[in-house]
Chain A
Amino acid sequence: MEVSIESLLAAARRLSTSLVCDRLYDHGAVVRAPLVNFTPGLPLAGPAFPITTDGAILPILQALDVVPPHHVLVIQDTSAGGRAVLGDIILTGARQQALGGVICLGTVRDVDEAPQIGVPLWASAASPQAAGLGRRAPQVPCDVTLGATVVRPGDWLFGDRDGLVCVEREWIRVILKAAAIKGKKERLYKERLAAGERLTELMNVRRHLEHGEPLVVEF
């Protein structure tokens, strides 16, 4: 059965990154790379459209020309140049094309405007100095590496204030279901807490500590 990206996104947007992380099993990873969330109020979710650049802007434009809507543009700058490969104009273009976000293992600029532009933006650093147009990338999209995590075209990325998580594309439907079920259980728990029940009693903490009874971890 084919499931539309809109349907997957609707499910994904109901999930926090930590819920997805809890249900990765072995089919994804927490992304540990030097990346700063420049739009902490904007959660990120979507299939990756990864590209590389050697410190040039042209590959980003090359990607923008073909990237499908709702995808997350993931840029690995392989140079050590430290110049911004994108700023407010490209980010505005990304919004106009309904991209799910931009992750740049490299430098960007105009970060003060990013929250108002409304596209989730993660990057390694900011600098006012722009990169040159440079040369085209040999291939877009392509596999990239963020820290120790390989991100392939179509792998899904989730990001919020807790961090970034990558889910293997073959497993996205399963992981979304598993995380949604956990989220539903956690909501029920929170309702009981809001109604006045005590967390340590719900979890049987005292009897676990004093008598070795099992902890109750329903979620």
Chain B
Amino acid sequence: MDQEHFYKEVTAFIATRANLPGEVIQPTDHLVQRGFVNSLILAELIVFVENVSGKEIDVEDFRLDSFSTIEKIYRNHVAPK
């Protein structure tokens, strides 16, 4: 999935779950600090990214920072290496 498509999908996903307008969420916004994501939505987001990327994310190897912004999620977990 390309970056633009990913940003659109994830923004829509978070906006729906957090009951927010999509335009509010920018790719570099800190999702937890801005209050967009709580512990449940974070876990849902991890599963969402697994489904998009086709790769399991092992929590033992997981760094919370890699999920702090949509841009970082794409870079760390979706973008081709």
Interface size class for chain B?
10 to 19
Given A1-B51, A174-B47, A181:B42 Cβ within 8 A? yes
A191→B39 CA distance, assembly (Å): 22
Cβ–Cβ contact A23 & B43, under 8 A: yes
Given A173-B47, A184-B59, A184-B60, A178:B54 Cβ within 8 A? no
A11→B61 CA distance, assembly (Å): 13
A94 within 8 A of B: no
Q: Encode B45-66 as 1/0 by CB contact (under 8 A) with A.
A: 0110011001011011010100
B40 within 8 A of A: yes
In the complex, how many angstroms separate the beta carbon of B3 from the nearest chain A beta carbon? 20
Cβ–Cβ contact B42 & A1, under 8 A: no
Interface size class for chain A?
10 to 19
In the bound complex, residues from chain A placing their C-beta under 8 Å from that of B71 are none
A182→B40 CA distance, assembly (Å): 11
In the bound complex, residues from chain B placing their C-beta under 8 Å from that of A182 are 39
Q: Encode A1-39 as 1/0 by CB contact (under 8 A) with B.
A: 101000100010000000000010100000000000000
A123 within 8 A of B: no
Contact of B43 among A1, A3, A7, A175 (CB under 8 A): A175
In the bound complex, residues from chain A placing their C-beta under 8 Å from that of B64 are 181
Q: Which residue of B lies closest to A179 (CB)?
A: B43
Contact of B47 among A25, A177, A184 (CB under 8 A): A177
In the bound complex, residues from chain A placing their C-beta under 8 Å from that of B59 are 11, 177, 180-181, 184
Besides the contacts A1-B50, A178-B40, what 18 more A-B pairs have beta carbons closer than 8 Å?
Answer: A1-B51, A1-B54, A1-B56, A3-B56, A23-B40, A25-B40, A174-B40, A177-B43, A177-B57, A177-B59, A178-B39, A178-B42, A178-B43, A180-B60, A181-B42, A181-B59, A182-B39, A184-B62
A residues in contact (CB < 8 Å) with B:
1, 3, 7, 11, 23, 25, 173-175, 177-178, 180-182, 184
